[in-house]
Structure 1
């Protein structure tokens, strides 16, 4: 059974109970696959999906946390005080904020979006480090980033196709 493959459109996902089983169905491009699970296995899948959707992603300078309520938190890696984090309504809210920034921007440009003090630098670093944002580090002094060519999903499409841990493309 194929559970993962490339397809051109968004899949149609559904889950339903059939007796003492749970059926998870994935329909894509006129092809359907079903996975029949016991209740225990379905609960384990639900817990795994919840963990994946609310996972913490750590980078060199920052971390991102997707909360169960849908909000997204950018925090300075290793810091535990509220002054070292910024909560966004959602990951998409941060993505929209990034789209509104100029092609080349500094931490100061993030002031216009309501960020203050060190949080501006933290969010700029997060945009550089996170692979979902087409942003690269242009300069450390002053801290400056620039947008790179991105695909429709907002991912960077550099020559090597990857961001490094520091967000700087390496040869």
Structure 2
């Protein structure tokens, strides 16, 4: 058996952090069944990026923020977590560590937009949260099929 606290030491998010959110409990209160607003906590969680800076910065994306290692250290300590795992930025090597391995970007779209030439990665965790990365390249063009149309889940608007 596992101590549940031991299993939940990694916060997974699409983009990053928000200056409006200090705790995981605040994230739980967000009404997620809606269009993503142009600003605010939900927008920030989707579009913010780590940056070698101090504090918060303006994102060149026009949505979300740039956040530094001090912001991550404060968030991780307040929530008793070890790491933030995110996926929002293209990483040519498939994954990239930030801030002394307290933030991890995992990119799983090989040869993004059919032109970037990047590899992709998947993070595997064992029962002790030991990390292993599986790196893969895009499938050759001649082996790609046409995907079948699947029904859209009701939580997408």
TM-score w.r.t. structure 1 length?
0.27
Report which of the two structures shows the higher radius of gyration computed on alpha carbons: 1
- With normalisation by structure 2, the TM-score equals 0.29
Normalized per residue, the structure richer in strand is 1
1 or 2 for the larger relative contact order (CA 8 Å, sep ≥6)? 2
Greater helix content: 1
